[in-house]
Amino acid sequence: MKYKFTFDPHKKGLKKILGELESEIMEVVWHRGEATVRDVFSILSRKREIAYTTVKTVMERLSAKKLLYQLKQSNAFVYTPRLSRESFTRSTIKEILSGLLEDFYEPVTTQFIDSIDEVEEEKIEELAALIEKRRRKKG
């Protein structure tokens, strides 16, 4: 099963792509590198009221969605991320943009160009350099 995400532009960070609890769990696993349900529950229960079984269910779903590996060690499962946070973010953004560009090329590119006015000059120069590098690569 490939992970199916939703996109909510009104939320912050990964919560734009993942649910709130999924985001929190993934952040813990990315930070630790690997974690059991007990590890994640221990961390999350300090910040919010949550049931161990809820954490277990969400981690199993994240594994079924191919976001986490699940490996049996002794009497517990150890979960590790399938992708780094950066790789996950990049692949998800690529999928979102590809879908938008496929159906709405003109409005997406126009809005992107219009929004450049709101970006710092340094970022605009970085973008120009990336575009030039891509042109040289293709030419």
With residue 124 as reference, give the H or E element that holds it. Answer: helix 121-138
Which range of residues forms the domain containing residue 28? Answer: 13-82
Contacts of 79 (CB under 8 A, 6+ apart): 29, 34, 35, 36, 37, 40, 59, 62, 63, 68, 69, 70, 71
63 domain-assigned: yes
- What's the CA gap between 68 and 30, in Å, rounded? 10
pLDDT digit string, tens, across residues 101-129 = 999 999 988 888 888 777 788 888 888 89
55 domain-assigned: yes
Q: pLDDT at residue 6 above 70?
A: yes
Same-domain status, 46 and 93: no
- 3-state secondary structure (DSSP) of residue 85: helix
70 domain-assigned: yes
Least confident stretch, 14-28, 38-52, 80-94, 117-131: 117-131
Same-domain status, 71 and 127: no
118 domain-assigned: yes
Q: CATH number for the domain including 62?
A: 1.10.10.10
* pTM for this prediction: 0.79
Look at the chain and report how many structural domains it folds into.
Answer: 2
7 domain-assigned: no
Instruction: Evaluate whether 81 touches 67 at the Cβ level (below 8 Å).
Output: yes
pLDDT digit string, tens, across residues 40-71 = 999 999 999 999 999 999 999 999 989 999 99
